[in-house]
Copies of this chain bind each other. A is one copy, B any other.
Amino acid sequence: MKKALILLGCPESPSQTPLAVYAAYQLKKKGFEVTIAGTPSAMKLMEISDPEEHYLTCKIDIDSCLVALDEGSYDFLLGFAHKDAAVSYFVTFYHILQVPSIAMVFEKDPQLLEEFENQVEESTGAKIVSARAYHNPTPLRVKLDRAIEEMVI
């Protein structure tokens, strides 16, 4: 079975947890076994967001995941890259895995948004899904649907 990794950033955005559940759901429909990696706070939000584990079963601490990571450990990477630390994690995972990847970039501030987009673009070949979004997830959801459709046959 193909394996996808979803990388969570810091949990300050109200859209991250819902969008991560949604992305897991879409990737599962495409035949992936989905693993989510994040910081302890981000993972606690994921856990209460899906208490019966309908959407997510494989959950792992981001640093433990990184320590065990090798080229091709997963077949697909989707990362939330909406803060400096999250961008750095995404770039690191991207270069170790070397698999088709999507970076989700969102920020209220248009200047910061551009900065994060540029950082991802300069350092990786990932498909970027971005929007000036904060608590309305629809623009990102629509773009994410398209990106998954284009990249995953």
Q: A residues engaging B (CB < 8 A)?
A: 10-19, 21-22, 25, 41-42, 44-46, 48-52, 54-55, 134-138, 141
Contact = CB atoms under 8 A, between A and B. Distances in A.
Nearest to A25: B51
21 contacts: A10-B135, A11-B14, A11-B135, A12-B135, A14-B14, A15-B45, A17-B18, A18-B45, A18-B46, A19-B48, A21-B49, A21-B50, A22-B49, A25-B52, A42-B135, A44-B136, A44-B138, A45-B137, A48-B137, A49-B49, A54-B54
Nearest to A21: B49
A44 B44 CA distance: 21
A56 B144 CA distance: 23
A28 B15 CA distance: 25
Given A12-B135, A17-B49, 9 more contacts: A10-B135, A14-B16, A18-B46, A18-B48, A21-B50, A22-B48, A22-B49, A44-B138, A48-B141
